[in-house]
Structure 1
Amino acid sequence: MTEQKSWNAFTVEREDNIAQVTLIGPSKGNAMGPDFWSELPEIFADLDADPEVRAIVIAGSGKHFSFGLDLPAMSGEFGAVLADKAQAGPRTKFHDMIKRMQSGINAVADCRKPVVAAVQGWCIGGGVDLITAADIRYASADAKFSIREVKVAIVADMGSLARLPAIIGDGHLRELALTGKDIDAARAEKIGLVNDVFEDADAVLAAARATAKEIALNPPLVVHGIKDVLDHTRSASVNDSLRYVAAWNAAFLPSQDLTEAITAVFQKRPPVFQGE
């Protein structure tokens, strides 16, 4: 494999018409901090424009795919709107930040090159947002999934609520999003969140690369056409959902409960929510 550029939150390797994008942190569990959100759209724009790349595998380094949003690293982004939440200026900047972050996940979903996700260990919050933007999802037997934003006083706004109805159905989505519960790989396969489950991290990555290779051997313009046609029927509803949740969160996310959630993370204790 060859790597063409150095990134802080990812490695990107290209070989035999396949690119592998690997989350590397730098935070524990490949948590998604500022570098993740700034680098992701640029990486996928580069891969989309690279004629040598015909399919993409996205994976996580180490024992886990991703712990999701890195709240400590991103707490500064929330600071202004929490400190002065009644004002339009901070809310507008917060809305702009949400849209910028959404653009990273959207870049994965909108990439003309099919994306295969290989998940091992934990895939939490933003990790689920990321894999819902992939075309195909595989998991190792030890994988666990959680739409956990509700547990930290956040309405998931990076794509899970928009894309999962077409993947797992409305009832399963509501159960996961409203409870924030964890599910294992077997349950994820049963409800359709993942296509297949493999023995371990090595096996799931090998399977993802094998599928990417199968795709890469097909005529690329036809592959692009298939993606375009499949995405056409749902793109309007996804885009509308993302716009709405960005506006909703800019208006209503700033709360004492969100402050409590961030404080609890730093203090390593369970949060106590008051609905304020």
Structure 2
Amino acid sequence: MSNEVSATDYRDSDQYQAFDVAVADHVAEVTLIGPNKGNAMGPDFWSELVPLFNGIDSDPDVRSVVVTGSGKHFSFGLDLPAMSGDFGPVLGPDAKAGPRTDFHNMIKRMQTGINAVADCRKPVVAAISGWCIGGGVDLITAADIRVASADAKFSVREVRVAIVADMGSLARLPRIIGDGHMRELALTGKDIDAARAEKIGLVNDVYDDQDAVLAAARQIAAEIAANPPLVVQGVMDVLDHSRSAAVDDSLRYVAAWNAAFLPSNDLTEAITSVFEKRPPQFKGE
């Protein structure tokens, strides 16, 4: 991971490559800005997310948070080309204990980013437009409230690129949409639209367009910010109490599973097909 960000002044957007940050009227607004197409999540995203949300969590002036994406899309998810260097060593023919341990540690570090959002004591409202894929779904499942525009599309797509989703979707989605819907999304990697997402409870409401959904998210965040902050944090603590142990256990298990079993010819094929811009040909190897 690169470009570690100082947490001394998290409001200074100049120190981020993957985010813009603004705070007004007790609401922090976090906007994904890339730097690559579709706000894809590369090394900058993963290194900056923890200090950013740790700063928000410790800021007494902030009482709620809005997370959204710049441009037409929320996020295309994990930036495979940008992250391929981190996958490389464990995909080699001699990937034994050392590279696998490093890979396991990398997964754990990346998980701390999404966990920082989930563990933030300030309620997080996600405003989703356009594509929300893979890691984007991990991020919104760590939010407390999700709203979408009519053009939003969602996909737990990791299975289609030979990866077991390991940033939290498999742990958090069952409590949001139920086990059956979660298994359908995770096992097929299918895309669903905003109407289906609302029907299964992935999002609370659907709005006409990007401007409308962002306005709605800001309104929800403002309503939260108007309530007694210590009571809001108390509600968060009670709601999160029973969830935390199960999520933590799931994250530990999937990190260990992926370090042991994720390296495969199919994963190499998935990464290669992205670079070659062609459909992958998986062989179960």
Q: TM-score, normalised by structure 1?
A: 0.98
Deviation at 1:4, TM superposition (A): 2.8
Match of 1:20 among 22, 29, 38: 29
Alignment match, 1:134: 143
CA distance in 2, matches of 1:205, 1:213: 12
- Supply the AA of the counterpart residue of 2:59: D
Deviation at 1:20, TM superposition (A): 0.3
2:180 aligned with 1:167: no
Deviation at 1:273, TM superposition (A): 0.3
- Supply the AA of the counterpart residue of 1:115: V
2:154 aligned with 1:145: yes
CA distance in 1, matches of 2:98, 2:206: 47
Map 1:1-276; keep pairs closer than 5 Å: 3-6=11-14, 7-84=16-93, 86-276=95-285
CA distance in 2, matches of 1:170, 1:209: 30
- Percent pairwise identity: 78
- Supply the AA of the counterpart residue of 2:84: S
Deviation at 1:147, TM superposition (A): 0.2
Q: Which moved more, 1:83-92 or 1:163-172?
A: 83-92
Indicate if the aligned counterparts of 2:89 and 2:95 stay in contact, CA closer than 8 A. Answer: no
How many corresponding residue pairs?
275
Indicate if the aligned counterparts of 1:84 and 1:90 stay in contact, CA closer than 8 A. Answer: no
CA distance in 1, matches of 2:112, 2:220: 26
Per-residue Cα deviation, 1:218-275 (whole angstroms, up to 9, x for no partner) = 0111100100100001110000000000000000000000000000000000000000
Deviation at 1:179, TM superposition (A): 0.3
CA distance in 2, matches of 1:269, 1:254: 21
Deviation at 1:13, TM superposition (A): 0.4
Q: Secondary structure of 2:177's partner?
A: coil
Indicate if the aligned counterparts of 2:90 and 2:103 stay in contact, CA closer than 8 A. Answer: yes
Q: Secondary structure of 1:20's partner?
A: strand
Indicate if the aligned counterparts of 1:31 and 1:67 stay in contact, CA closer than 8 A. Answer: yes
Deviation at 1:86, TM superposition (A): 3.9
CA distance in 2, matches of 1:268, 1:9: 25
Q: TM-score, normalised by structure 2?
A: 0.95
Per-residue Cα deviation, 1:26-59 (whole angstroms, up to 9, x for no partner) = 0000000000000001100000000000000000
Deviation at 1:100, TM superposition (A): 0.3
* Gap runs ≥5 in structure 1: none
Deviation at 1:3, TM superposition (A): 4.9
Q: Secondary structure of 1:158's partner?
A: coil
Indicate if the aligned counterparts of 1:56 and 1:114 stay in contact, CA closer than 8 A. Answer: yes
CA distance in 1, matches of 2:244, 2:75: 26
CA distance in 1, matches of 2:94, 2:196: 39
Per-residue Cα deviation, 1:66-114 (whole angstroms, up to 9, x for no partner) = 0000000000000000014541000000000000000000000000000
CA distance in 1, matches of 2:13, 2:128: 24
CA distance in 2, matches of 1:89, 1:109: 30
- The structure 1 segments of at least 4 consecutive aligned residues displaced by more than 3 Å after TM superposition are none
The alignment yields a C-alpha RMSD, in angstroms, of: 1.0
Deviation at 1:196, TM superposition (A): 0.3
Indicate if the aligned counterparts of 1:168 and 1:193 stay in contact, CA closer than 8 A. Answer: yes
- Supply the AA of the counterpart residue of 2:76: F
Q: Secondary structure of 2:227's partner?
A: coil
Indicate if the aligned counterparts of 1:85 and 1:91 stay in contact, CA closer than 8 A. Answer: no
